[in-house]
Chain A
Amino acid sequence: MRSIRTVAAAALVTALALLLAACGSSSSSGSSSSAGASSPLSTGGYKSPLTVALTGGKRGGTLQVLQEIDFEHLDPGIAYFSVDYAVVFATQRPLYSQKPDSTEPTPDMAEGPPEISNGAKTVTVHLKEGIHFSPPVNREVTSEDVAYAIERGANPDVANPYIQSYFKSIEGMPAATGGPIKGIETPNKHEIVFHLTEPKGQIVADALVLPLTAAVPKSYAEKFDKNKPSNYAAFQVATGPYMLKNDAQGKVLGIGYVPGKSATLVRNPNWNPKTDYRPAYLNEIDVKIGGTSAVLGRQVLEGTNVVQNESTVAQSVVRLAAEKFKSQMEISPGAGSHYIALDNKVGPFKNIDLRKAVWAALDRTAMDKARGGELVTNVATHFIYPTINGFEQAGGLKGPQGPRFDFNAYPEGNMKVAEKYMKLAGYPSGKYTGNETVTMVGASGDPFEEDSQILEQTLKNLGFTVKYTAVEASTMFAKYCNVPKEEITVCPSVAWIADFADPQTVLNITFNGTTITPTGNVNWSQTNIPKINAAMAAAENVVGKEARGKAWAKIDEELVESATAIPFDWDKQANIEGSDIEGVGDIWNVGEWDYSYTSLK
């Protein structure tokens, strides 16, 4: 799971189909207006990962990619950012991965679906034969390479960011430091078995779509992993259709990747298309790093052979594309959610009715308009967002209904309902008359500051005294919102995107009281409700997509009823391409371009 900059994702084709059906769409046949206007998957007539053609692209050519920011990590064992994933998933093959228009796991290196057995305490995966590493390793991939890839994730010098979140139940994982893990067994070259200490087979199986499971050859990588930190990324080998350009010794750094400047992906000569579902149309992908997002966006719109790869495309570029280059913009729904974290533990918002009053008074449509309007947002009414399993069970677009949720019924805000809850909270005038000041720390920059100011005005209208400070987003998290002892009453700029489409990845770490930590805490509202904690513990062990969706949707409803935080936006991501590009984005990776499907016209 990650905060706003990082991504992964997956969900269920069935869930998507249900959503599309519920919205009266015409299925994912390629229509550019498949989703109705009220659909959370609606993209306003713009193409989306759900509607573009995945077959029939022209083979050959070089794609230019412009991106403002550098990659964070290109090591498959460390990568945890949507921009990184665009390269990692073109060069690496995890056990499972997702097609661009789906959040359903598709066997990649695996031969078929994972087998969950022994009361959900064993997960078995069989590997395809004939998958080879790129030069200079060249040999066939075995299950031991997958085991090593996961084991090295626990190495402090690799420090995979999500390994303990999803793979902790593997026997021996909590104490692992990079060496062999007792619970990972490789009976033969093409079989890997995970033995779990708890019946969490479903979540482990779902997490096999993460790039941590991309094979790493131990005999080759071990010497790089002994460095502090590991520099395997600079010498990495590929299993996917592309590889970062390297020399005969396998060196990538300075050749296929120049930090802050460029990355060059060329075809992997050892890739066997018969073992892969990807078409891999392009011959080469040249990534240029640097510049200003808004300027790059305009260059791309007016250019050829080029796409822009950003975590967020500038609002001015989205507007320009909408006005003049409509066919060159892709909108990807299911790009995460934003919510306001109200401190449930300290300060005035310990009082549930005060939280509900703020929720009722807040104009969430205004918040979303400040983020770019309907084209790139939906007003959020609960926490599980579109494309995630459980979204519909949790109320879909409208959210949970009924008198208990009247504070959630007015996206444009309703002061009468807010006053009702202010009175219930013990403030008969309908205004807060307590002496506690609301300390609010938001991220600086557009649109975070606008959102913060709308919230600040709402709080003032309810009688609160607000002390608002805007700081760099990284500072906001590292120094304030992620540190409970700072006692920040309101963090208005927090966001979450799932690692894959299981609802546990949306709700557990962010609202489970047992996950609160002194630093690096992402349970920003410090929600710690025993009943909800217990429900989450039970839901973690539920097996089966439908059952999991239902279980976590119920938890979602309880979180809304407790007004633990105020969700206000479900994001849609805009992506920009040149006029001669058949760009294909990944729905599961916030719409980032999929280089294995994109082609030149």
Chain B
Amino acid sequence: MSSGAAELLPSGGGALEFLDFGGDVVARSPLQLFWRRFRQDRVALVSLAFIVFLVVVAIAAPLVVSLLGLTGPYVQNLNLTDSFGSPLGPSLAHPFGVDQLGEDVMSRVIYGARVSLEVGVIGTGIATVIGVVVGMCAGFYRGWVDTVLSRFMDIVLSIPILLLGIGLGAACGVHGCVKGLVQPGLASIIFIICIATWPYIGRIVRGLVLSMREREFVEASRALGASNLRIMFREILPNLAAPIIVYSSLLIPTNILLEAALSFLGVGIRPPTASWGNMIAQAAPIFNTAWWFMVFPGLALLLTVLAFNLLGDGLQDALNPRNAR
């Protein structure tokens, strides 16, 4: 079973023999069909290219910074501020200007991409795995399992995540929590993001599984003696690939924004580690005199979120053409 259209095409002979296509008919795999549709979406393609570029830049950040002749993201140089301590603006040596400590903004924006992508991808990945497993269990087993898991998802969804982040930041900021096990930083941010977002995937998966578990191919598999786990993960899960990919891709920008918001509020990634959110927070009080300090990380955040959103839309259109715009 596939959600694509390949199975509608003749594999040779049969009732459609009377049709003359005037040549060999080549069957396309679902992936081929997806790519055929996706590549026609230029906006999505550009978004994909931007994201690939961003990933490359993030992974090779030290090399990129060095090649561009920039100073490192943590190199402080107060000589690059004026006599009032206000940072100097863009120049050839510092294309995005510097911040209040004379640190190069471009190099910090580049390193900030690492944080955003780590949080976006890792956080979304973990949230997706949790959401898929819980959602499948709830949808497949139904009954009390569904009730318990669904109510649990409702409870988690009702947690005000920004307040949770602020609370954890305040409570665990200095000495950590749970005997120092919970410490502020990237891991905590990813943890908070996972808590906040897995139920969304879980609910969607649950709904899909509820309808899919009644389909013929599941009945057939069950009749052949397949175990529940096999049915869930070998029969149903592959059919959920498209919606999972689409929702995950749309979850990434949400998570990037959540990290930025938490960092902006001072409970996420803390300076000196570069994060677009904390850069924007630091830039806010001096926007009048140092616009570049806010504009460039803000632009990076905006473009990244936009790219992931547009890519998500493109993936949705390509994987689910019936819902195409």
Contacts and interface: CB of A to CB of B under 8 A. Distances in A.
A407 interface: no
Contacts of A318: 84
Contacts of A185: none
A467 B76 CA distance: 19
Interface in B167-187: 170, 173-175, 184
Given A446-B285, A450-B101, A315 B174 contact: no
Contacts of A372: 84-85
Contacts of A87: none
Nearest to B172: A469
B179 to A, nearest CB: 15
A441 to B, nearest CB: 6
Contacts of A456: 272
Contacts of B188: none
Contact of A450 (B84, B100, B184, B288): B100
Given A315-B286, A469-B270, A322 B84 contact: yes
A390 to B, nearest CB: 29
Contacts of B50: none
Interface residues of B, number: 25
Interface in A214-263: none
B85 A457 contact: no
Given A365-B78, A372-B84, A439 B272 contact: no
Contacts of A374: 83
Give the interface size class of chain A.
35 or more
Given A318-B84, A373-B84, A453 B271 contact: yes
A454 B100 contact: no
Contact of A370 (B85, B271, B272): B85
Contacts of A278: none
A44 to B, nearest CB: 10
Interface in B238-293: 266, 270-272, 282, 285-286, 288-289
Contact of A469 (B100, B184, B288, B289): B184
Give the secondary structure class of B's interface.
loop
Given A468-B270, A469-B173, A469-B174, A319 B76 contact: no
B101 A453 contact: yes
B71 interface: no
B101 A370 contact: yes
A315 B86 contact: yes
Contact of B286 (A316, A439, A469, A470): A316
A538 interface: no
A116 B17 CA distance: 121
Given A445-B285, A469-B173, A486-B174, A371 B101 contact: no
A449 B170 contact: no
A444 interface: yes
Contacts, number: 84
A511 interface: no
Interface in A424-481: 439, 441, 444-447, 449-450, 453-454, 456-457, 467-471, 475, 480
Contact of A453 (B170, B173, B272, B285): B272
Contacts of A449: 271, 282
B174 A441 contact: yes
A89 to B, nearest CB: 30
B74 interface: yes
B221 interface: no
B271 to A, nearest CB: 6
Nearest to A317: B288
Interface in A310-361: 314-316, 318-319, 322
B320 interface: no
A315 B81 CA distance: 13
A224 to B, nearest CB: 37
A369 B173 contact: no
Interface string B223-250: 0000000000000000000000000000
B266 A444 contact: yes
Contacts of A206: none
B174 A369 contact: no
Contacts of A394: none
Contact of A371 (B74, B85, B170): B85
Interface string A365-384: 11001111111000000000
A316 B174 CA distance: 31
B74 A315 contact: no
Given A315-B85, A446-B285, A454-B76, 11 more contacts: A316-B286, A371-B85, A374-B83, A375-B84, A441-B174, A444-B266, A454-B78, A456-B272, A457-B74, A468-B270, A470-B271
Interface of A: 294, 314-316, 318-319, 322, 363, 365-366, 369-375, 439, 441, 444-447, 449-450, 453-454, 456-457, 467-471, 475, 480, 486, 488
5 contacts: A366-B76, A370-B101, A446-B285, A454-B101, A469-B270
